Amino acid sequence: MRVLVFGKTGQVATELQRQAPKDVILDVLGRDRADLSDPEACAAVIMNSTADVVINAAAYTAVDQAEEEIDLATVINGAAPAAMAHASAAKGIPFIQISTDYVFDGSGQQPWTMDATPAPLGIYGRTKLLGEEAVRAAGGVYVILRTSWVFSSHGANFVKTMLRLSETRDQLSVVTDQVGGPTAAADIATACLAIARTLHRDGAPSGTFHFAGQPDVSWAEFAREVFAQTKRDITVIDIPTSAYPTPAKRPANSRLDCTGLAAFSIKRPDWRASLTDVLKELKVI
């Protein structure tokens, strides 16, 4: 199976490169070959490719900065996936788009189902929703995979931030009224490869699916687990979101109903076990 991947240095793309088995040939595109600010160029790469499946693991993910760089975020998160999906449909090959819990407004306490009505709070979520809508409208075989709270041993993420801050502090204030499922990039990559195999083999089922680690926790609880596993004597002080204002609003409820992934025989991973793997790779346990 030949898989064309947009995004070379991101957390998920990095894990795709590390995990791909010998029978999966990856063609991983960096900005030098596919700049997402040029959607038509991205489409041209697909049209000239011999790939069996396309995965878009690239995005504009600077949530706060997106509030200022609206046009750029719209092109990268909206127009680029649209062009990719249309090109994939034209070639008759499946397209996998990674999306986000930020398409929801975070209300309530129940997990968001796959068919729940999106209502993003900020520009990042709105532009990712635009990308989702375009992928569905393209007319090809597709999977939109929404995920949340991504972490790994590389790139910028919550786990690495907590470890860095704990080097110079003995207590940290962490938000406790935002709840979701931390998700290892390695687990997302595994899910994407499993979905790609099914789509390549069967051409179905198309649709929108959720994938996140379990159990659902607050950011504060996530931080405590990081420090527990690394045996760092750090006091985590619970604070409300209102005590840590940011340019972009974050959803309070990022719980995702992942039952739909049974169609691909994929189960929710325990993020605590995945966290152990990441911490071992970072050589802090």
Among residues 249, 218, 228, which one has the least CA distance to residue 64?
Answer: 249
Among residues 84, 222, 211, which one has the least CA distance to residue 145?
Answer: 211
What is the reported pLDDT for 214?
Answer: 98
pLDDT, the chain, mean: 97
What is the reported pLDDT for 107?
Answer: 98
Given a cut of 90, whether residue 13 has pLDDT beyond it is yes
Answer whether 155's CB lies under 8 Å from 278's CB.
no
Given a cut of 90, whether residue 167 has pLDDT beyond it is yes
What is the reported pLDDT for 200?
Answer: 94
Q: How many CA atoms lie within 13 A of 117 on its CB side?
A: 2
Given a cut of 90, whether residue 188 has pLDDT beyond it is yes
Q: Is 38 strand, coil or helix?
A: coil
Comparing 193-207, 230-244, 250-264, which segment has the lowest mean pLDDT?
Answer: 193-207
Residue ranges of domains in the chain = 2-156+183-213+255-269
Answer whether 185's CB lies under 8 Å from 150's CB.
yes
> Out of 60, 102, 124, 142, which one is annotated catalytic?
124
Given a cut of 90, whether residue 203 has pLDDT beyond it is no
Q: Tell me what percent of the residues of the chain surpass a pLDDT of 70.
A: 100
Given a cut of 90, whether residue 204 has pLDDT beyond it is no
Is residue 124 part of the annotated active site? The answer reads yes
Answer whether 241's CB lies under 8 Å from 177's CB.
yes
What is the reported pLDDT for 266?
Answer: 96
80-114 per-position pLDDT tens digit: 999 999 999 999 999 999 999 999 999 999 999 99
> For residue 257, what are the CA distances in angstroms to 115, 192, 198, 212, 266?
10, 17, 21, 9, 13
Q: Is 2 strand, coil or helix?
A: strand
75: left (phi over 0), alpha (psi -120 to 50) or beta: alpha
Structure tokens at 165: 């801050």
Q: Which fold has domain 2-156+183-213+255-269?
A: Rossmann fold (3.40.50)
Given a cut of 90, whether residue 205 has pLDDT beyond it is no
Q: Average pLDDT for residues 108-131, to the nearest whole number?
A: 98
What is the reported pLDDT for 69?
Answer: 98
43-84 per-position pLDDT tens digit: 999 999 999 999 999 999 999 999 999 999 999 999 999 999
Burial of 96-120, coded b for 16+ CB within 10 Å and e otherwise, reads bbbbbbbbbbbeeeebbebebebeb
Q: Predicted confidence band at 219 (pLDDT cuts at 50, 70, 90)?
A: very high
Q: Predicted confidence band at 4 (pLDDT cuts at 50, 70, 90)?
A: very high
